[in-house]
């Protein structure tokens, strides 16, 4: 399994914004619920909200209330690629739907 950085966001409300700041190379950013985080950690198929982030910051919206994790990895990047990351959480904004900023190809679980 590729090495990755992980952040345990704890319990978050639906609509909360996760802001990832990246320095260095483009990186894969994934927002995962606990089951999919375990699948990802163990190299199994998993579903996530996120993207290949080529710009920073990346903003992802928490789709459902519950516990969430964010991972940052360089899977598929050139050898020697490096990235530093930090995360912050912003309170949910009423009436704001899901959105992905800073993502080239946003991916999310089908409804």
- Domain of 75, in residue numbers: 4-101
12 has a pLDDT exceeding 50 = yes
- Phi, psi at 42, each rounded to 5°: -95, 10
Number of domains in the chain: 1
Q: Is the pLDDT of residue 5 over 80?
A: yes
Rounded CA gap, 80 and 68, in Å? 29
Sheet of 17-24, strand order: 83-90, 17-24, 58-61, 100-101
Q: Give backbone dihedrals phi and psi of 40, rounded to 5 degrees, phi first.
A: -60, -50
Q: 47 in a domain, yes or no?
A: yes
Is 110 contained in some domain?
A: no
Q: How does pLDDT run across 23-82, given as a tens digit for each residue? A: 988 899 999 999 999 999 999 999 999 989 988 999 999 999 999 999 998 888 777 788
Residue 94 lies in a domain: yes
Residues sharing a CB contact under 8 Å with residue 35, sequence separation 6 or more, in sequence order:
none
Task: Kindly state whether residue 107 falls inside one of the protein's structural domains.
Answer: no
């Amino acid at each position: 399994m590729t090495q990755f950085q992980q952040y345990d966001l704890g319990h978050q409300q639906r609509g909360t914004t996760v802001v990832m700041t990246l320095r260095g190379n483009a990186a894969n950013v994934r927002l995962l619920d606990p089951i999919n985080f375990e699948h990802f950690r163990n190299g199994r198929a998993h579903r996530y909200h996120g993207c290949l982030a080529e710009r920073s910051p990346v903003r992802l919206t928490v789709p459902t209330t519950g516990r969430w994790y964010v991972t940052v990895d360089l899977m598929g990047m050139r050898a020697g690629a490096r990235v530093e990351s930090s995360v912050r959480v912003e309170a949910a904004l009423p009436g704001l739907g899901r959105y992905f900023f800073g993502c080239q190809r946003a991916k999310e679980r089908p409804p």
